[in-house]
Structure 1
Amino acid sequence: MGYEKGGHEKGHAEYHLDKPKEQAEEKAELPTFQQIFNELPTTGSIISFSVFNNGIVYFSSLDTHVYALDAETGEMLWKFKTGGPVVSTPLIHRDRIYFGSNNGNFYCLELDGKLIWKKNTGNIIVSSPIGIGDKIFIGNGAGYFFCFSSGGDELWKFRTGDGIMAIPSTANGMIFVASYDKSVYALDLEGNLHWKFTPGERSSVALVMSDGKNIFSANKRSWDKEPCAKNFRLYCASYDNHLYCLDIGGNVLWKFNCGTSVPGGIGGDNSTVYVGTISGLIYAIDALSGNEKWSFRTGGMITSGAEIKDGRVYFTSFDQKLYCLSEKGEKLWDFMTGGPIVSRPFLAGNKIYFGSSDTLFYCIDAEERNVDWTFRVGFGLPDSSKSLMQNIVNVFTEYDRRIFRVWVPETAVKESPQINTADYAAKLGLDSTFAYGGLGSYLSKGKKKDTYGRN
């Protein structure tokens, strides 16, 4: 483990999806958090959001590294290697970098990439930390929510019923944590539970907080002093197809039916909440009333929240595109990458930064819509046949309106940066061995495990 220096490159690829012809018929219970995230493959997909600080952009990758690039040129300043794939979005807080890894470690680095400390939490970390004063908070796959001092001491931990995926939110002396056990927890800064909200039959996956004037998205996670919200509202996206708006006591002010499951992040500005769905729709919802303002359909699942700047709405989709819409929901332009996109776009000046499963990190000019530069992260097959066989994967397609938890991959067949999971969804209806395309990294063979429907 450590940090290294290196370079960057330009260019990107394109490929297209074929519509699956078969649908799986069986239905099973939702898998547990551990079943889904037991072992992420060691690939070059970029799932985390990017973070911008003093002309440097930071992001993590499933290739086990965290990267720091010159935001203007794309030159790599350093990279830090962990012991597992990294989904956690780095936090810059008081001139230190914090993030978790699939190996269960929680890391603290200096801004030059040198390790200050690391702590093992006992389970994988796919959530992202927040910082309040001299305290850092992070959740792990076993359902524990930790509070660490800036020096790395564990101050307390609170256990939920299952893994924690979402980035927590904070306001008014409270921290709000969404767990895969279907609930949202309101804790004080000492780890005491104040209330618990269970929205529906399925898990909560995303949180965003409003103070009545601003909606704080995932890009705002560092607080010298915790924000005080006179008109507090907490927005909670859930797999039960709804977006919930809660008050400071956990009471539902309104809920919005999105029609299909909401798999990920929420974005917003002063008056509007933006939420994406598995069906490929993004909704603009009035933050106060919960009424729909408009919706826009993409060609793939939307897993990250929107970023809003100068009356424009930016977001990404599994259809491999970055979108730019007007504040009225009209498409202004889109940009095609070489793979499904989970990463949320980040805007600094007129530049847009985001990563894709094609192993590239992009810097796009928002006005000219040109690629300023790209940076390619590491790429490779899973470390061993053992880890490959233990991997259980969630697969989403927009065509058959089902979620498939389907494979224990058996053998790596070939390396390919242009394989998409959805390309092989057509074979899901068969009991025989079929091909499986990972997120832009490898092709393997596996057998169908089970499926569960999405409503």
Structure 2
Amino acid sequence: MRRWILLSLAVLGLLVAGAAVAVYFKARDRPSGKLDTELKGVSVGTADTRAITAPKKKKGYHLVDDKRCWLNFGGNPQRTLSRPSIDIGLPYRRFWSVGLGSYIEYPPSYCGGILYVNTFAGKTVALNSHNGTVIWQKKGGRKPSTPAIAGPRLIVSSHDGYVTAYNRFNGRRLWQLKVAAKVESSPVAVGRLVYFGATDGRLFCVYVRTGHIKWAYDTGGRINSSPSILGNSIFVTTYAGSIWRLNRDNGHKIWSKYLSRDFVRYASFYASASTDGKRLFTISRSGGVYALSASDGHVIWRSSVNSWGYATPAVAHGRVFFGGFDGRVRALRASTGQVVWSRRLGGRFLGPAFVAGKYVFISNLERNTYALRAADGKVMWHLDIGKYSPGIVTERHYFFTLNGIVQAWHGRRAPQILALQRRQLAAKHRVTSAPKKRSP
């Protein structure tokens, strides 16, 4: 008996020692991060800084532009993927559809009557939002990203390491920056600066007008995600399992947090971090769901979906919305992580959802797109086309980018549809109330 006790204690001691060694090496492998002052493998061409003038708009009721822009992936620098205040109802009628010949992994950006779409085949296409005609297009490396609108400029990233600024009205190239790594990160612009990450682990801050680098920070972990901005801070997730908060003016680290997948391994992040102003929300590739304090990085809550996680969470109505490879779409309470509802739709959800008013839109790889009621997850609308991220919403229209096809839809309660219904009702009233002619 004593022999078995000693043997058990010895085994337990070995396990504890092994765990201690694992923790030691795990902690030692954490990249500490630093500002990159050498900028190896980075080159910037000559910038075209001539003034940019927007073209004159044609007039007409049907040419009224949506006034609110969707400037980047997520719709805003916080990457919330939501417009909770918009109430245009469910999609009502499609009014144009255009095929781009290659699948579209990320949703478009929009401003002033022009949609900007990247394709995996390397095209950046500017489309007239009123009729779908091509205004201009450019070809380059693969682009699993959303172009970022920065005033009159459009900032485009690509797999071949090029980040390019175009005149967003006519497609004239203004400057081009080359990084010795892939750039899959969707840029985000605030004021005179634009930010993006690269797979060599560096986060870049670049002047919008010239493409010159203001600062670069080496996180030590591959960046496929897109940085998010809150106030004077910028946040980014990495494949190394880390989340960083930097001062976005000078790149100085405010905090970093490494999140564990298990006792030995760190998590790994493809999804970006979205924020509600207090908390950061993201999903690891192994299916861990995390909420962190934006102020100091401590973990507020964590959950798991038991499936791969690649989609940036959408944030609205005090909830976090996302789909998974298990075919489920979930809504969690933003403050606690409690499951509000979980709806099994089948298929595999890889791209992020977006919220339009009281509806959550999401697409699976099996070519289905759904609108679910945000309150309880009830399916309210379905379209037999999908893959990957469904699209965006404005105050007048839905724009879907599905399986290489861009579609424009009127919302059932959109201003132009309600106005049309009022005109039709008034015309009907005039006909029915007209006095009858007396017979001679």
In the superposition, the TM-score normalised over structure 1's length comes to 0.64
Q: Give the whole-Å Cα distance in 1 for the aligned partners of 2:323 and 2:398.
A: 19
Q: Give the whole-Å Cα distance in 2 for the aligned partners of 1:12 and 1:174.
A: 38
Cα deviations by residue, 1:294-320 (Å, 9 ceiling, x for unpaired): 011222222222222231111111121
Q: Counterpart amino acid of 1:347?
A: V
Q: Tell me which residue corresponds to 2:166.
A: 109
Q: Give the whole-Å Cα distance in 1 for the aligned partners of 2:159 and 2:269.
A: 21
Q: Tell me which residue corresponds to 1:282.
A: 329
Structure 2: give runs of 5+ residues left out of the alignment: 1-94, 262-266, 414-440
Which of the residues 223, 229, 247 maps onto 1:188?
Answer: 247
1:146 matches 2:192: no
1:329 matches 2:377: yes
1:73 matches 2:73: no
1:309 matches 2:368: no
Cα deviations by residue, 1:265-304 (Å, 9 ceiling, x for unpaired): 2112131110221212111011112111101122222222
Contact (CA 8 Å) 1:299, 1:318: kept in 2 or not?
no
Q: Give the whole-Å Cα distance in 2 for the aligned partners of 1:86 and 1:174.
A: 26
Q: Give the whole-Å Cα distance in 2 for the aligned partners of 1:12 and 1:333.
A: 22
Alpha-carbon distance change, 350 to 329 in structure 1, aligned in 2, over 3 angstroms: farther
Cα deviations by residue, 1:136-182 (Å, 9 ceiling, x for unpaired): 11111222111111211111211223321211111242211111122
Contact (CA 8 Å) 2:97, 2:407: kept in 1 or not?
no
SS where residue 206 of structure 1 aligns?
A: coil
Which of the residues 109, 112, 124 maps onto 1:51?
Answer: 109
Q: Counterpart amino acid of 1:267?
A: A
Aligned-residue identity in percent: 23
Alpha-carbon distance change, 80 to 367 in structure 1, aligned in 2, over 3 angstroms: same
Q: Counterpart amino acid of 1:134?
A: R
1:206 matches 2:271: yes
Q: Tell me which residue corresponds to 1:96.
A: 153
1:258 matches 2:308: no
Q: Give the whole-Å Cα distance in 1 for the aligned partners of 2:182 and 2:272.
A: 20
Q: Tell me the CA shift for residue 331 of structure 1.
A: 0.4
Q: Tell me which residue corresponds to 1:237.
A: 283
Which of the residues 381, 393, 407 maps onto 1:362?
Answer: 407
Q: Tell me the CA shift for residue 207 of structure 1.
A: 3.3
Q: Tell me the CA shift for residue 253 of structure 1.
A: 0.7
Q: Give the whole-Å Cα distance in 2 for the aligned partners of 1:309 and 1:52.
A: 15
Q: Tell me the CA shift for residue 243 of structure 1.
A: 1.3
Larger Rg: 2
Q: Give the whole-Å Cα distance in 2 for the aligned partners of 1:300 and 1:166.
A: 24
Q: Tell me which residue corresponds to 1:342.
A: 388
Contact (CA 8 Å) 1:188, 1:194: kept in 2 or not?
yes
Q: Counterpart amino acid of 1:271?
A: G
Q: Name the stretch that deviates more: 299-308 or 141-150.
A: 299-308
Q: Counterpart amino acid of 1:353?
A: F
Q: Tell me the CA shift for residue 75 of structure 1.
A: 0.9
Q: Tell me which residue corresponds to 1:267.
A: 314
Q: Give the whole-Å Cα distance in 2 for the aligned partners of 1:206 and 1:90.
A: 17
Number of matched residues?
310
Decide which structure has greater helix share: 2
Q: Give the whole-Å Cα distance in 2 for the aligned partners of 1:234 and 1:10.
A: 37
Q: Give the whole-Å Cα distance in 1 for the aligned partners of 2:251 and 2:297.
A: 17
Cα deviations by residue, 1:68-100 (Å, 9 ceiling, x for unpaired): 111121111111222x11112100012211111
Q: Tell me the CA shift for residue 366 of structure 1.
A: 4.1
Q: Give the whole-Å Cα distance in 2 for the aligned partners of 1:174 and 1:94.
A: 21
In the superposition, the TM-score normalised over structure 2's length comes to 0.66
Q: Give the whole-Å Cα distance in 1 for the aligned partners of 2:160 and 2:393.
A: 30
Cα deviations by residue, 1:208-230 (Å, 9 ceiling, x for unpaired): 443xxxx3xxxxxxxxxxxxx4x
Q: Counterpart amino acid of 2:167?
A: E
Q: Counterpart amino acid of 1:157?
A: A
Q: Give the whole-Å Cα distance in 2 for the aligned partners of 1:11 and 1:271.
A: 34
Decide which structure has greater strand share: 1
Q: Tell me which residue corresponds to 2:14.
A: none
Q: Give the whole-Å Cα distance in 1 for the aligned partners of 2:230 and 2:355.
A: 22
Q: Counterpart amino acid of 2:217?
A: F
Structure 1: give runs of 5+ residues left out of the alignment: 1-8, 14-41, 216-228, 369-455
